[in-house]
Amino acid sequence: MGSTVLGEAISAIRDWSVTEAKEPRASRAAESFGSLVFSDAVQQTRLPKPAYHALRRTITHGEALDHSVADAVASAMKEWAVEHGATHYTHWFQPLTGITAEKHDSFLAPTGDGKAVAEFSGKELIRGEPDASSFPSGGMRSTFEARGYTAWDPTSPPWLLKSGNSTTLVIPTAFVSWTGEALDKKTPLLRSMEALSKQAVRILKLFGSTAERVITTCGPEQEYFLIDRYFYLSRPDLINAGRTLFGAKPPKGQELEDQYFGAIPDRVMAFMSEVEGELYKVGVPVKTRHNEVAPSQYEIAPVFENANVATDHQMMVMETLKRSAPKFGLACLLHEKPFAGVNGSGKHLNWSMSDGEGNNLLGPGASPHDNMQFLVFCAAVIRAVNKWQGLLRASIASAGNDHRLGANEAPPAILSIFLGDMLTDIFEQIEKGGAKSTKHGGELDTGVLVLPKLPRDAGDRNRTSPFAFTGNKFEFRAVSANQSIGYPNVALNVAVTESLDYMATELEKAVKGGKSLQQAVADLLPKVIKENKRIIFNGNGYSKEWEKEAGKRGLLNLKNTVDALPQLVAPPVVAMFEKYKILNDRELHARYEIMVETYNKTVNVEGQLMVLMANRYILPAALDYQTRVAESVAAVKAAGGKSIEGKKTLDVLTRHVDELRRRTDKLAHALDHDGNGSAEKHAKHFRDVVIPAMGALRETGDQLELMVPHGTWPLATYREMLFIK
């Protein structure tokens, strides 16, 4: 990279020292954890007893909260927040854009005598009215009914956002239109958790449990890249698209595999410690940090929580990562594929279900009875993933994830389940019926199902699977680093809800007809396994053979977003979402439209940026070098020499420069398209014409990078960005 920027970057990196960072705070984690959260403990000490109990009932049983209680809660919340320095509050929500939104209001209310007091009523706590008209609604909200409102979600605790010199009380909320349609990601998530709970409770009841509610739990592992901020600022593509649109593969990539779990550089460690300290204070239970496979790639993972709270916390993790990086002279990249040729970033969504007492329903138990129940829930998930693979695939579709899925490093775009040998063996025997033992010892009798005690890590590791059983939970690995886990959670919940409903209905029927529960389960499981086992695949998901085999099995292979998104509004999906009251037809179509539009906008921005970078960065540098080579050839000739090699260099360079011009024009021309008002046609054009034109232009740009002298090249290179730390 030319000159000054690189020089500055390198001296900044050289001069940076750990002492500049704040003292690592993780050591004080226990004291500071949750210190900025209006948590259960705080509520208990601050709220009048009746109000506290009413609020708990709302949180644990979904009971409506009456206005006097809301007033009491609001007043206690405000006092607590003001004592901690808060001057403002915000209803924090997750519109369909993919990020979070907040509008801050002051607590201050003028008293009329030239003074002011801090005020916050139950009404203000429960409902806010941000101007909704600038958030995407996918046509759900015509301008004359542009109003939307935010509704307090009492199940996710409020917290204090400290930023610069201001402190704001952040209240997690749902965002709905005036007519009650969901304009956000939280509303369908809450609805889907409720729906799943109802069906799961039916099954638990058959097994004699008195549980009234089941919650879904999740623990998302976040991968990210950290590069020096100077490099980041020198790259218009990173700033505007989140990924590099040009960049030749460096001589050293990730082939030496010397980064995974390796020692974490000091500066990165200081950053991680700061991020963890900030997250602890706002009650996000982050636990794990390590280097990832690609150079300059890392991971942060929390301990799992209730899926709704975990989804809010996940957004806070992403925001904290981005916000903290500049303090350490770094930039955090959450894009699915910031660098071509090295691994992209995913977000493994660990998912399970738990009853009111905290018993994990996907944990194999100690007794035969527990294990029978475990197998029923596990089979329900297998059936759900098989039956609703299209929906699950669509829930993780985006322009960014298209670069990652199936790229020989991330799970393929074909959904399948990795069960591990032991569980696969058990299900195979169940399918055959009457098997008495398993490969791994222990007994299995479908009359009285007895499983060997599965070790906690029974699911072996298989990095190539998009959906893996890992001992006591499933791990949805195709989820992308950059996305909210809201959609994938909803898709999973709804699919499993439908499956649990089916299984509960079958089992109830059999039991009512006089069968023992054991017999009912022994009859149902083989059928479910037989019908759904095609989704189980324990082999190498990256292999070409798997693609063929999956085709034979009739599994969907939706290679890109444009192919995948229609699954979101396939008639059976719409019917299922309506049946369980998760999203109605309009709400679902709105999400579909927004996702198609987002795809179009993303590719369009990237294409435009490439044209700009080719014309204003790469071409001038290449022309500059071309001139110098031409001058050198001419000088040699003038001096009576031949300059054979010089002439060859000039020819190659000229060919690339001409190609760059042609390919830039071709891309610019491809971008001049509007789909005649059809977003789908537009999307197909982006996929079939624009993206290949971008690929071609990149190829030429990257060839030039390998020729143009280091001092002339205007962009930070992969070699620098990924390896100078």
Residue 277 near ligand ADP by CB under 6 A: no
Matching residue, tokens 């509610």: 213
Helices (H), strands (E): how many in the chain?
26, 16
- Minimum Å gap between C-beta 218 and ligand ADP is 5
Question: Rule CB under 6 A: is residue 350 a binding residue for ligand ADP?
Answer: yes
Under the binding rule (CB under 6 A), the answer on residue 532 touching ligand ADP is: no
- Residue 632 binds ligand ADP, judged by CB under 6 A: no
Residue (459 or 607) nearer to ligand ADP, CB: 459
Q: Residue 465 region, left (φ>0) first, then alpha (ψ -120 to 50), else beta?
A: beta
Binding ligand ADP by CB under 6 A: which of 320, 345, 472, 626? Answer: 472
Which option in Mg ion, ligand ADP, none does residue 277 bind, with CB closer than 5 to 8 A by kind? none
Residue nearest to ligand ADP (CB): 219
Beta strand residue intervals within 516-675, DSSP E: none
Question: Is residue 466 within 8 Å of residue 386, measured between CB atoms?
Answer: no
* Residue nearer to ligand ADP on the CB measure, 343 or 352: 352
Number of neighbours of residue 618 by Cβ within 10 angstroms: 26
CB of 305 to ligand ADP, least distance (A): 8
Residues near ligand ADP (CB under 6 A), total: 15
Contacts of 566 (CB under 8 A, 6+ apart): 394, 592
Which residue of this chain has its Cβ atom nearest to Mg ion in the complex? 348
CB of 260 to ligand ADP, least distance (A): 12
Q: Given the complex with Mg ion, which of 186 and 348 has the nearer CB atom? A: 348
Stretch that binds ligand ADP, among 51-59, 139-147, 297-305, 530-538 (CB under 6 A): 297-305
Whether 396 and 515 have beta carbons less than 8 Å apart is answered as: no
Site for ligand ADP (CB under 6 A): which residue of 159, 304, 537, 580? 304
213-221, 236-244, 416-424, 584-592 -> range binding ligand ADP (CB under 6 A): 213-221
Report the C-alpha gap between 684 and 396 in whole angstroms: 18
Closest separation in Å from C-beta 348 to Mg ion: 5
Instruction: By CB under 6 A, tell whether 217 contacts ligand ADP.
Output: yes
Phi, psi of 217, rounded to the nearest 5 degrees = -120, 150
In the numeric block, the tokens 């109003």 are attached to 147
Per the listing, tokens 């960005």 go with 721
Residue 389, interface with ligand ADP (CB under 6 A)? no
- Number of neighbouring beta carbons within 10 Å of residue 479: 27
**Position 455, amino acid:** P
Q: How far is the CB of 219 from ligand ADP (least distance, A)?
A: 2
The rounded distance, in Å, linking the Cα atoms of 225 and 725 is 12
Angle, to 10 degrees, between the axis of helix 691-705 and the axis of helix 585-613? 30
Binding range to ligand ADP, per CB under 6 A, among 8-16, 218-226, 241-249, 568-576: 218-226
Q: Work out which of 87, 360, 598, 643 binds ligand ADP, going by CB under 6 A.
A: 360
**Lookup result for tokens 């190498």:** 540
Residue 155 sits in the site that holds ligand ADP (CB under 6 A): no
Burial class (CB in 10 A: 0-12, 13-18, 19+), 711: exposed
Q: Which of Mg ion, ligand ADP, none binds 429 (CB below 5-8 Å, type-dependent)?
A: none
Using the CB atoms, write b or e for 80-102: b if 16+ within 10 Å: bbeeeebbbbbbbbbbbebebbb
Smaller CB separation from ligand ADP, 87 or 360: 360
Which of ligand ADP, Mg ion, none sits in contact with 459, Cβ below 5 to 8 A by type?
Answer: none
Closest to Mg ion by CB, 348 or 383: 348
Structure-block tokens of residue 68:
């006097």
Q: Does 352 bind ligand ADP (CB under 6 A)?
A: yes
Q: In this chain, which stretch among 5-13, 15-23, 348-356, 519-527 interacts with ligand ADP, using CB under 6 A? A: 348-356
Q: Is 426 in the site for ligand ADP (CB under 6 A)?
A: no
Q: Is 466 in the site for ligand ADP (CB under 6 A)?
A: no
Residue with tokens 């982006």: 686
Tokens of 120: 């916050």
For position 496 contacting ligand ADP by CB under 6 A, the verdict is no
From candidates 473, 533, 687, 698, binder to ligand ADP by CB under 6 A = 473
- Give the Cα separation of 2 and 713 in Å (integer): 5
Q: Which long-range contacts (CB under 8 A, 24 or more apart) does 682-686 make?
A: 682/600, 683/561, 683/562, 683/596, 683/599, 683/600, 684/562, 686/562, 686/599, 686/600, 686/603, 686/604, 686/607
User: Considering only residues 348-367, where is the footprint of Mg ion by CB under 5 A?
Assistant: 348
Binding interface with Mg ion (CB under 5 A): 348
Binding interface with ligand ADP (CB under 6 A): 217-219, 221, 301-304, 350-352, 360, 470, 472-473
